[in-house]
Amino acid sequence: MPAYNAAATLERTYRDLPPAWADDIILVDDASVDGTADIARRLRLHVIVHPHNRGYGGNQKTCYRAALRRGADLVVMLHPDYQYDPQRVPALVEPILSGRADVVLGSRLADGQALANGMPLYKYLANRFLTIAENLVFRTHHSELHTGLRAYRRQVLETIPFERNSDDFVFDSQVIAQVCHFGFRMAEIPVSARYLPEASSLGLKRSIVYGLQTLLTLARYCLHRWHLKRSPLFAPDATLRDSSRHLVFSP
Average pLDDT over residues 144-157: 97
Residue-level pLDDT at 203: 79
Dist. CA 4–CA 36, nearest whole Å:
7
Average pLDDT over residues 223-240: 88
Report pLDDT for 162.
98
Q: Mean pLDDT across the stretch 158-185?
A: 98
Q: What is the mean pLDDT of the chain?
A: 93
What is the per-residue pLDDT for 199? 62
Rounded to whole angstroms, the Cα distance separating 171 from 228 reads 23
Q: Which of 5-14, 38-47, 64-73, 203-212 has the lowest mean pLDDT?
A: 203-212
Domain residue ranges of the chain, discontinuous segments joined by +:
73-240
| C-alpha–C-alpha distance, residues 8 and 64, integer Å | 24
Q: What pLDDT score does 238 carry?
A: 60
pTM for the predicted model, two decimal places:
0.92
pLDDT above 80 for 244: no
- The CATH architecture to which 73-240 belongs is Alpha-Beta Complex (3.90)
DSSP letter for each residue of the chain:
-EESS-TTTHHHHHHTS-GGG-S--EEEE-S-SSSHHHHHHHTT-EEEE-SS--HHHHHHHHHHHHHHHTT-SEEEE--TTS-B-GGGHHHHHHHHHTTS-SEEEEESSTTS-TTTTT--HHHHHHHHHHHHHHHHHHT---S-S--S-EEEEHHHHHHS-GGGS-SSTTHHHHHHHHHHHTT--EEEEE--B---TTS----HHHHHHHHHHHHHHHHHHHHHHTTSS--GGGS--TTGGG--TT--B--
Q: Which residue has the higher pLDDT, 245 or 166?
A: 166
Q: Determine the Cα–Cα distance for residues 160 and 153; give it in Å rounded to an integer.
A: 12
C-alpha dihedral sign at 182, 185, 188, 193: negative
Nearest to 75, CA basis, from 58, 99, 92 = 92
Across the beta sheet with 46-49, the strand order is: 2-3, 26-29, 46-49
In tens, the pLDDT along 18-67 reads 989 999 999 999 999 999 999 999 999 999 999 999 999 999 999 999 99
The number of residues in the chain equals 251
What pLDDT score was predicted for residue 105?
A: 98
Q: What is the Cα–Cα distance from 172 to 150, expressed in whole angstroms?
A: 10
Does the pLDDT of residue 77 top 60, yes or no? yes
